Amino acid sequence: MLMEKERQDIIYYSQKMAESGLTKGTGGNISVYDRELGYVAITPSAVDYDELKPEDIAIVKLDGTQVEGDYLPSSEKDMHLLCYKKRDDIQAVVHTHSLYAIIMACLHEEIPPVHYLIGFAKGRVKCIPYYPFGSMELAIAASEGLEDKNAVLLGNHGLLAVGADVKHAYSVAEIIEFVAEIYYKTSLKGAPQILSDDDMEEVYCRFDAYRKSKPSS
């Protein structure tokens, strides 16, 4: 079986995504790219996360051809594949339907740096217009909308997060949902103070220093 470890990781984070409320039902999807093998492991289409088994995870090439898996890959596979084609610094994509990210996406508003944790996305999170789910138009707009950031809002739909590995991409999705909630709720109370570009530059420096201070495992 190809990409066994990645299949296990995808099942673990898919179930965590569902249990933590980052998505509802079978919405959302997760993939991991092995650049040496040239294969992407991705959640299957329309299978309950709590019933996922390793053999259910689809393995596809970057051109979309399915190599292994008992089910069809996620209907958003093109969005995942285009992200890997555009960005050589990412190995995982997490797409969620989390509540506060969706509220912002339905308002077609970006999430500004209201809290330093938005540094996980590398700054403000833009929102692309609405495109039908599973469409190539959505895949193109989402992968282009990411630019060099780690997250983008999908208009009237949800959140797309990317990372160096699946743990990182999941953290981006989880934290940007938290920042979206902070921004939405503080906006109800008043006008939240937004961090400046200089403030965020310092955050990135501190993130780097923090990363370097952790023992490598």
User: The tokens 């997490």 sit on which residue?
Assistant: 94
**103: phi then psi, degrees, rounded to nearest 5:** -60, -45
**Cα–Cα distance, 176 to 29 (Å, whole number):** 16
- The answer to whether residue 181 is catalytic is no
Q: How far is the CB of 191 from Zn ion (least distance, A)?
A: 31
Q: How far is the CB of 28 from Zn ion (least distance, A)?
A: 6
Quote the crossing angle between the two packed helices 136-146 and 77-86, to the nearest 10°.
40
The contact mask relative to Zn ion for 13-52 (x = CB under 5 A, - = no) is ----------------------------------------
The residue from 4, 36, 68, 76 that is catalytic is 76
Interface stretch with Zn ion, choices 66-74, 85-93, 150-158, 168-176 (CB under 5 A): 150-158
- H or E segment and range at residue 93: strand 92-96
Q: How far is the CB of 86 from Zn ion (least distance, A)?
A: 19
Are 172 and 121 in contact, with CB atoms under 8 Å apart? yes
Interface stretch with Zn ion, choices 58-66, 152-160, 177-185, 195-203 (CB under 5 A): 152-160
Determine the residue with CB nearest Zn ion. 158
For 20, 44, 111, the CA distances from 68, given in Å and listed in that order, are 29, 11, 38
**Cα–Cα distance, 120 to 148 (Å, whole number):** 12
Q: How far is the CB of 101 from Zn ion (least distance, A)?
A: 11
* Residue among 119 and 158 whose Cβ is closer to Zn ion: 158
Quote the crossing angle between the two packed helices 166-189 and 99-106, to the nearest 10°.
60
The contact mask relative to Zn ion for 100-139 (x = CB under 5 A, - = no) is ----------------------------------------
Q: Which residues are catalytic?
A: 76
The site for Zn ion (CB under 5 A) is made up of 158
